[in-house]
Chain A
Amino acid sequence: MIMITGGAYQGKKAYAAERFGLSPEEMIDGTYCGYTELINAKCVYNYHEFIKKLLKNGEDAVQYTTELCDNNSGLIVIMDEIGSGIIPLDREERSWREVTGRCGCIIAERSDEVIRMICGIPEMIKGGKK
């Protein structure tokens, strides 16, 4: 598994497409995709939005993420870092932020390589070539 993270609009998708030679069809948008699509996907982006969707539907996102890691260990997961603001007042927003953090830790733990994008520059924060 490979994880690409970083703030919004830092060039995560472009990096993944270039480095792994992914076509737009091979990159699935977590905002809209269904659960089963991810099992066979090469790459998912906006995984943080996928988590939001899981929570809205009352699913256990941590368990789902763990199972996804088990069943598609070659997946490239792109998700935003979202935890650097103030704790949201809204209960649902708060829960989303927490669960996204936990899921991110699981994905990072299972990934051979974790890349953090900033200003279009990849920082190798786990594994990979310096």
Chain B
Amino acid sequence: MTVMITGGSKCGKSSFAERIFDNIKSSKIYLATMKPYGEEAEKAIERHRILRAGKGFETIEKYTDISELTFDNMDSVLLECIGNLLANEMFRNEEIELCADKIADEIKQISTKVNNLVIVTNQVGSDGMDYQEGTELYISEMGKLNQKIASIADTVIECVYGIPVILKGEKPC
């Protein structure tokens, strides 16, 4: 099963994603993509650690090139989140790289290898603002990548203040 969860900032995506794992007995892997740089990032990471505590996740941190990881076919993976992963990949060198296709391919690969893959992403680009070029490219790559992930996912959910709105497939829990 491949599930994608989207929504705005702080809308309960992670808690809902973790709820899906409550019924999963096989090994649970939390694939964290956020770089622990700066006080705010560290705080966010700590908050998520506390949320996951006691739920039996093994945490793997991987900020780019997630296809380099190896998984067992019984693993259930929670990938969080696409927003960070895309930023890490796009802005890792001086020259901006458009990597929506690359990341979509990597996610597709992983989804065929593991038992369950739950992907947390987020919605950007609904504010009508004009940004500088790098940010504008990021918003367009996020849109493209989300569309690609949604097309391979069995279930797509938008979280609204913790309420799951099913956009595709069946409610997973």
Chain A interface residues (CB < 8 Å from chain B):
6-11, 48, 80-86, 88, 96-97, 100, 118-121, 123
Chain B interface residues (CB < 8 Å from chain A):
4, 6, 8, 123-129, 139-140, 142-144, 146-151, 156, 158, 167-168
> Do B147 and A81 touch (CB < 8 A)?
no
A88 to B129, CA, bound (A): 9
Q: Which of B127, B144, B156 has the most CB of A within 10 A?
A: B127
> Do B140 and A82 touch (CB < 8 A)?
no
> Do A120 and B123 touch (CB < 8 A)?
no
Given A10-B146, A85-B126, A119-B149, 17 extra CB contacts under 8 A: A6-B126, A7-B123, A7-B126, A8-B139, A9-B139, A11-B143, A80-B128, A82-B127, A84-B126, A85-B127, A85-B128, A86-B127, A88-B129, A100-B128, A119-B167, A120-B148, A121-B150
Other-chain contact of B147, A8, A10, A96 (Cβ < 8 Å): A10
Closest A residue to B143 by CB, please name it. Answer: A9
A10 to B151, CA, bound (A): 12
A84 to B125, CA, bound (A): 9
Other-chain contact of A7, B143, B149, B150 (Cβ < 8 Å): B143
Which A residues lie within 8 Å of B8 (CB)? Answer: 84
Which B residues lie within 8 Å of A97 (CB)? Answer: 128
Other-chain contact of A120, B124, B127, B128, B147 (Cβ < 8 Å): B147
Other-chain contact of A119, B126, B139, B140, B150 (Cβ < 8 Å): B150
> Do A118 and B128 touch (CB < 8 A)?
no
Min distance, Cβ B85 to any Cβ of chain A, angstroms:
16
Closest B residue to A84 by CB, please name it. Answer: B126
Min distance, Cβ A74 to any Cβ of chain B, angstroms:
27
Closest B residue to A7 by CB, please name it. Answer: B126
A13 to B69, CA, bound (A): 36
A66 to B80, CA, bound (A): 44
A16 to B151, CA, bound (A): 17
